[in-house]
Structure 1
Amino acid sequence: MKNLTIFLFVFALCMIGNVYGGNPFKGKKTTLLFRNGLAYKKWLKVHCKSKNNDMGAKYLRPGGMDYQFSFHDNVLGGTLFWCTLSKGPDYKISKRFNAYVQGSGGKPHGGSYNYIAQDDGIYHSNLVEFKLRRLYGWN
């Protein structure tokens, strides 16, 4: 019974930490960064969501500020952020993709995931490799 009480106490700390952002077992924050690399003064719309969070639509002008947000992985695993990037007149050309998926074992990643929208697709780089690679075309 004593072990069950200890387990429930630690579990409650984890849950309270997830709700209020004060998780005592948290690792490094993960950052998602988006940049508008579209030509000819085209704006980019970025809208990211997770199961529990809607980051809202952000509009990035060409050559303007980047959009980024940071978060901690869920202690129990399963953190997923999907994003929709849209361009063109009335933002009719768009691509939805999983921008971050917590790895197996529920271990936090930390680090930065950088996405750059260009005319021919969406590119990704991280601070480890420092090179862009095309992930998606505009479908």
Structure 2
Amino acid sequence: MGKILTCLLFLIFISIQKIDSILIFRKFNIEISNHLAGNKILMINCRYGKSQATRVVFLSSNTEWKLKFTVYPKTLIWCNLWKGPDYVQHVKFNAFIGKESFIHNICGGRKPNICFWKAQEDGIYVRKNAAGTFKFMYKWDRV
């Protein structure tokens, strides 16, 4: 019995090492901010897992929406944003991928455990670091 338990623990350890184990079970946030001109509303809907979706959010100008979650193996959260008032301009993007490379290269690192996205007239930006510099990522498409 002891050998089986040891082998099982070893297999679990090896499988965890194949994913970004330092991220597993960490608390993380996605924040989306509406910086559209002219007090335009931003419509947000994000999805994660096979069937889980957030409620549709209508975000007023100069406000933020936050999604709090725990990172599990293969965590993927993607979001759809629509620019008001007619909601014909749209963007779909991966707001979070549970890999150290995504968190470091896109979100700017694990401190403060936030992937911060900003909607502006020309498209979607991500904050690259805690100092607050932003990088342009996606432009609006027509629906």
Q: What TM-score comes out, normalization by structure 2 length?
A: 0.71
Alignment correspondent of 1:116: 118
Instruction: Determine the C-alpha separation between the residues in 1 that align with 2:77 and 2:71.
Output: 10
Asked if residue 130 in structure 1 is aligned to residue 132 in structure 2, the reply is yes
* Match 1:94 to one of 72, 90, 99: 90
Alignment correspondent of 1:62: 61
Alignment correspondent of 2:33: 35
Gapped runs of 5+ residues in structure 1? 12-24
Identity %: 27
Instruction: Determine the C-alpha separation between the residues in 1 that align with 2:100 and 2:117.
Output: 22
* Match 2:80 to one of 84, 97, 113: 84
Instruction: Determine the C-alpha separation between the residues in 2 that align with 1:120 and 1:133.
Output: 12
**Aligned-residue offset at 1:27:** 4.3
Q: Conserved in 1, the CA contact under 8 Å of 2:47 and 2:77?
A: yes
**Aligned-residue offset at 1:72:** 1.1
**Aligned-residue offset at 1:66:** 1.0
Asked if residue 71 in structure 1 is aligned to residue 63 in structure 2, the reply is no
Give the letter aligned to residue 58 of structure 2: Y
Q: Conserved in 2, the CA contact under 8 Å of 1:34 and 1:66?
A: yes
User: Against the structure 1 CA distance between its residues 2 and 51, is the aligned structure 2 distance closer, same or farther, given a 3 Å change threshold?
Assistant: same
SS in 2 for 1:91: coil
**Aligned-residue offset at 1:87:** 0.8
Cα deviation code 1:43-91 (max 9, x no counterpart): 001111111521121110113x3100111111xx210000001013431
SS in 2 for 1:78: coil
Give the letter aligned to residue 44 of structure 1: L
Give the letter aligned to residue 135 of structure 2: R
Q: Conserved in 2, the CA contact under 8 Å of 1:112 and 1:127?
A: no
Structural RMSD (CA): 2.6
